[in-house]
Amino acid sequence: MTIHVKRAYRYRFCPTDAQAAELSRTFGCVRKVYNMALAARTEAWVTRQERVNYNATSAMLTVWKKTEELAYLNEVSSVPLQQALRHLQTAFTHFFGKRAKYPRFKSRKKSRRSAEYTTSAFRFRDGALTLAKMTEPLAVVWSRRPLPEGAKPSTVTVSQDAAGRWFVSLLCDDSGVKPLPANGNAVGIDVGLEHLLTLSTGEKIANLRHERRDRAALAKAQRCLAKKEKGSANRARVRLKVAKVHARIADRRRDMLHKITTRLVRENQTIVIEDLTVRNMVKNHRLARAISDAAWSEFRSMLEYKAAWYGREVIAVDQWFPSSKLCSACGTLQDRMPLNVRTWTCDCATTHDRDVNAANNLLAAGLAVTVCGAGVRPQRSTPDGQSATKQKPSRREP
């Protein structure tokens, strides 16, 4: 069976001075339109309790273009501006569905610089990509990861990161993604800081601590940045150095996570992980830096979409499941298990490695869910002697 998935292929490119100026102008117009539409929708709701949709903001854009103050919006392609309004509509849909916070205004300094083009605003022929309002194709550096044969991009997103690098992302239908042959392998995974991953097989994958490796270079660049006068050319030059260090760290981390998740999906039919709430865990200021560097959320995201592509299953066990305190041999639940305890011996005389034991318990709990739909929280005794399951409080309003 062939699964048709939308897959984005991202490449570096080197724009000419004219192309860079055109794209920078487009980024600014996209940000301006997004912020104006957000302000209009917010004002309509606050003053008149009126919900403004995409069609209304699109009509507003037509009016804005006819004014003398905003006439410069006609100088760039209209498609990225319309796409910005669609993205704002999506943001409000997620907000009203209680899946995200209220949309925020885009910042010239902090927000991502990007513009999205649909099929009517670009031409892709024989490996040459030309955007609207441009006469020359982009000088794309096609890497060893080629586009699918006969690919026809549906959207093209051009962006520039904080380090000044230019990227183009082509969204294509990839018919080459096929489910892998089924196997009976299952693995439980316990994430950590000393070791990034501990598998139920006993294997431990090292945490390379990418941020720590470049911490000295990053600190030096940031100290230099702090000494520069705000708004000066020297400050902009040093800010670029800081951004390049951050980009180098992120690139290495992403590369490692891609390799690990691809290997896990290829080797296992069922993968069991813990449903951690990382955004709450980073509130611990002693561990926030190390947790952010480990990128547990990014690891889970990669694992889930790759499993969906290749016909694998990812099971997330509740975060309150006591995987570390439960003996995987006899099922005895320990009263407490401090973080400094890395090995411990159960009453049944079984000596456990803390992380391997947790991975084995996660695997058993995950398989129990798939087989019989059993819960993954431990049964606790109530005052009347009956067993009861501890319920996790809901985070959503009624």
68 carries an active-site annotation:
no
Cα three-residue angle 134-139-141, rounded to 5 degrees: 145
Given 116, 174, 293, 355, which residue is catalytic? Answer: 355
Q: How many helices (H) and strands (E) does the chain have?
A: 10, 16
174 carries an active-site annotation:
no
Given 116, 174, 274, 293, which residue is catalytic? Answer: 274
274 carries an active-site annotation:
yes
Residue with tokens 């005389």, as numbered in its chain:
349
Given 174, 190, 211, 293, which residue is catalytic? Answer: 190
Give me the long-range contacts of 83-87 (CB less than 8 A, separation at least 24): 83/30, 83/115, 83/116, 83/117, 83/118, 84/30, 84/31, 84/33, 84/34, 84/37, 84/116, 85/33, 85/34, 85/37, 85/54, 85/57, 85/58, 85/61, 86/54, 87/34, 87/116
CA–CA distance, 170 with 237 (Å, rounded to integer): 30
189-221 burial, b if ≥16 CB within 10 A, otherwise e?
bbbbeeebbbbbeeebbebeebbeebeeebeeb
Beta-carbon count within 10 A of 327 CB: 19
Inter-residue contact 96 to 8 (CB < 8 Å): no
Active site residues: 190, 274, 355
